Amino acid sequence: MVKAKDIVSDYNGYDYKKIFWEDADRKYEDAADRMAVKKLLPKHMDKFVDIAGGYGRLADEYIPRSKSATLFDYSQSELDDAKKKYGKKLNTVQGDIYKLPFKDGEFSSLMMIRATHHFKDIDKVVAELYRILQPGGVAVIEVANKRTLPRIARYLTGRTKISPFDHKVANLTDVAKSGFYNYHPKYIEDIFEKQGFKIDKVLSVSNFRSAGLKKIFGTKNLVKMEKGAQTVLAPIRFAPSIYYRLVKLGDK
The 10s digit of each residue's pLDDT in 59-108 is 999 999 999 999 999 999 999 999 999 999 999 999 999 999 999 999 99
First to last CA, the chain: 28
Task: For residue 170, list its beta bridge partners.
Answer: 182
Look up the pTM and report it. Answer: 0.93
How far, in Å, CA of 26 to CA of 97, rounded? Answer: 26
How far, in Å, CA of 143 to CA of 162, rounded? Answer: 18
Please, where are the H alpha helices in the chain? 16, 27-40, 59-62, 76-86, 122-132, 149-156, 175-178, 185-195, 211-217, 219-232
In three-state secondary structure terms, 159 is coil
φ, ψ (nearest 5 deg) of residue 145: -90, 130
Contact 215, 108 (CB under 8 A): no
Which of 103-117, 147-161, 182-196 shows the lowest mean pLDDT across its residues? 147-161
Domain ranges of the chain: 4-247
Correct CATH for 4-247 of 3.40.50.300, 3.40.50.150, 3.30.70.1380, 3.40.50.800: 3.40.50.150
Task: Decide which of 1 and 242 is more confident.
Answer: 242
Q: Place 12 in a pLDDT band, splitting at 50, 70 and 90.
A: confident
For the segment 118-169, what is each residue's pLDDT rounded down to a tens digit? Answer: 998 999 999 999 999 999 999 999 999 999 999 999 999 999 888 999 999 9
Nearest Cα neighbor of 76 from 10, 1, 6 is: 10
